[in-house]
Structure 1
Amino acid sequence: MVVSSNNPHHKEIAIRKRIASIFNKCEEDFPSLREYNDYLEEVEDMTFNLIQGTDVAAIEAKIANYQEENAEQIMVNRARKAEELAAAVAASKGHPAQTDNDTTASQSSQAGFGAGSQGQYAPTFAGGQPRPTGLAPQPLPLGGDIHGYPADDEEVMRLRAERGGRAGGWSIELSKKRALEEAFGSIWIF
C-alpha cells in the first residue's frame, strides 16, 4: 500500500494504523516478555522503514506473507481489541464492567462494531457460531436515578462529599488554617 500525501504526518499515521491492524499481537500471545519485545522491535523497524521509504518492496512482501500465514489470528485479535474498546466505552458511560465474553461481544456491537442491530445475531469472525449483538433494554429500578443506583438520602450524600474531598487532599483542618492565614494576612498594622 502506497500512501500519497503531502503531509508527512498523515503518511506516518496511515502507515502506523495499517501496520498496527496487521501486527496486532499482545503480550499474552508470547511465551516470554523478551519474545514480545523482539516482536515489537521488529514491527517498529518495519514501520520506520516504510515511513522513510527504505526497502519498501521487501517489507510489503513480508507484510503480505505475515497476513497470509496469520489471517485467523489477526481477525481474532481485531475482534478482541474491538471488544476491549467496547467494554471501555461502556465503562466510561457508567455501565458496570462485565467479564462474560458474550456480554462483552454484545457491548461491542452496541458501540458500533457488530454487523447486526440490537437484539439480533451476527456471525463471529473465527468460530462461525452466532454471537448475540445486543442487550434488551433494562427497566430503571424504582426509587433510583437514571444510572440505576439507588437514590441517596442526605446522610449518604454528605458522606460521599466528605470522602470525595478527602480523596482530593482536602480536610476541614486545612480549610480552617487557610481561612485564618488569609484573615490575618489581610490585617494592616500602621
Structure 2
Amino acid sequence: MVVSSSNPHGRELAIRKRIASIFNKREEDFPSLREYNDYLEEVEDMTFNLIEGIDVPAIEAKIAQYQEENAEQIMINRARKAEELAAAMAASKGHPAQTDNDVAPSQSSQAGVSGQGQYAPTVPGGQPRPTGMAPQPVPLGVGFDMHGYAADDEEMMKVRAERGRRAGGWSVEFSRKRAFEEAFSSIWIC
C-alpha cells in the first residue's frame, strides 16, 4: 500500500506510523541488544525505501509476509501499548492504574474488563484474544481523539489552553507592551 499525499512530510509520517504499528517489537522481545538493533535497522531501511519509492513491491510483499507470520505478536504488542496508554492516562488524571491482580476474581471474569480506562487483553478464562484480521485494541472506558489523547470537554480544553499559555510565558499585558514598543520604536522624529 503506497500512501500518496501532496504533503511529503505527511506522506512520510503516514508511512512511519503504518510501519511502526506492524513492526512493533521491543528490546525485551530479543535475546540480545545486537539482535534488537539489527531489527530496528532493517525496519528503518524498509521505511526509508518506502518513503523514497525504492523497490516498493518487494517491500510490501515482505511486510505482508511479516504480518502473516507475526499476527499474534503484533496484536499482543498493540494490546500492551494500549494498556500502557490507559495506565498513563489514569496516572495523569490522578487515578492509580488498576491491574488484573487488583481486580476481584468475580470482576476479572466479566467481559475481560480490568479496570476503568484499561484495555482487557484476554477473554474470560485467561485465553489470549483471537488473532487474524481482528480490529486494533481500544482502551475501555476512556474516549480518545484521533491523536490518541483523552477527549476532554470544552471547559477542560479551555483550562489546558490557558495553562499552556501561562507555562509558555504568554500574557495579555506582555503582548500589549510589546505591540506598543514596536509601534513607537518605528516613529522617527527629525
**TM-score grouping bracket, smaller chain normalisation:** 0.5 to 0.7
- Count of aligned pairs: 125
Distance 1:58 1:90, change over 3 A: same
Whether 1:54 and 2:61 are equivalent positions in the alignment is no
Asked if 2 retains the 8 angstrom alpha-carbon contact of 1:26 and 1:36, the reply is yes
Residue matched to 2:184? none
Larger RCO (CA within 8 A; separation ≥ 6): 2
C-alpha separation in 2, matches of 1:101 and 1:19: 33
Whether 1:127 and 2:128 are equivalent positions in the alignment is yes
Distance 1:134 1:74, change over 3 A: closer
Q: In structure 2, give the amino acid aligned to 1:106.
A: S
Q: Rg: which structure is higher? A: 1
Asked if 2 retains the 8 angstrom alpha-carbon contact of 1:83 and 1:105, the reply is no
Distance 1:64 1:123, change over 3 A: farther
Residue matched to 1:5? 5
Q: Deviations over 1:106-160 (max 9, x none)?
A: 34x626x67xxxxxx9679x7149xxx869xxxxxxxxxxxxxxxxxxxxxxxxx
Whether 1:15 and 2:15 are equivalent positions in the alignment is yes
Asked if 2 retains the 8 angstrom alpha-carbon contact of 1:106 and 1:134, the reply is no
Residue matched to 1:110? 117
Q: In structure 1, give the amino acid aligned to 2:114.
A: S
Residue pairs, 1:78-97, within 5 angstroms: 78-97=78-97
Shift of 1:4: 1.5
C-alpha separation in 1, matches of 2:124 and 2:13: 31
Residue pairs, 1:1-190, within 5 angstroms: 1-100=1-100, 106-107=114-115, 110=117, 127-128=128-129
Any idea what SS the aligned residue of 1:46 has?
A: helix
Asked if 1 retains the 8 angstrom alpha-carbon contact of 2:99 and 2:114, the reply is no
C-alpha separation in 2, matches of 1:123 and 1:4: 42
Asked if 1 retains the 8 angstrom alpha-carbon contact of 2:30 and 2:36, the reply is yes
Shift of 1:41: 0.6
Asked if 1 retains the 8 angstrom alpha-carbon contact of 2:90 and 2:117, the reply is no
What is the TM-score of this pair, normalised by structure 2? 0.56
- Structure 1 unmatched ranges of 5 or more: 115-120, 136-190
Shift of 1:97: 3.8
Runs of 4+ in 1 over 6 A off after TM superposition: 121-124
C-alpha separation in 2, matches of 1:61 and 1:10: 23
Q: In structure 2, give the amino acid aligned to 1:25.
A: K
Distance 1:39 1:50, change over 3 A: same
Root-mean-square deviation (Å)? 3.3
Residue matched to 2:187? none
C-alpha separation in 2, matches of 1:102 and 1:62: 41
